[in-house]
Amino acid sequence: MLEGTYVVSAQTPVGSKRGEVTFAHGVNGALRAVLNVRGLNIALSSARAEGDFFELSGTISHVLMGKAPFTCTGSVEGDRLTATARSGSVSISLSGMRKELSGRTA
């Protein structure tokens, strides 16, 4: 089951970054996803899932780099999330646990 909030760590070119990603189904059954990193909530678009696998996209705004669109694919096995986000030639690995089990917040 994909729905829930996951405490994640992203291995970026400038070091490890912590955050949360939340998956929920809307009234019409469409998958919604929100990424929260350092208090910045990013609504992710085109979120879709098939079984335990998911795919989504979004845009992160950075003061120095401007807007960077990205895509992300991943899966959930039990309560563990693993994913890879790509923006241009940059690839970032994400991993984390369902928040209710991790005992931590971002």
Summarised one tens digit per residue, pLDDT across range 61-74 is 766 667 888 999 99
Q: How many domains does the chain have?
A: 1
Does residue 86 form part of some domain?
Answer: yes
Does residue 89 form part of some domain?
Answer: yes
Tell me the average pLDDT across 84-106.
82
Does residue 63 form part of some domain?
Answer: yes
CB atoms within 10 A of CB 96: 25
Positive/negative CA dihedral, 72, 89, 95, 8: negative
Tell me the CATH number at 44: 2.40.128.120
pTM: 0.82
Does residue 55 form part of some domain?
Answer: yes
Tell me the average pLDDT across 43-71.
84
- pLDDT surpasses 60 at 106: no
Does residue 105 form part of some domain?
Answer: no
Does residue 70 form part of some domain?
Answer: yes
Q: Domain of residue 15: give its range.
A: 4-99
Q: Give pLDDT, residue 65.
A: 65
Cβ partners under 8 Å of residue 7, min gap 6? 18, 19, 20, 96, 97, 99, 102, 104, 105, 106
Residue type, 70: F
Average pLDDT, the chain: 85
C-alpha span between 11 and 15 (Å, rounded): 6
Does residue 104 form part of some domain?
Answer: no
Closest CA to 11 of 88, 96, 80, 73: 96
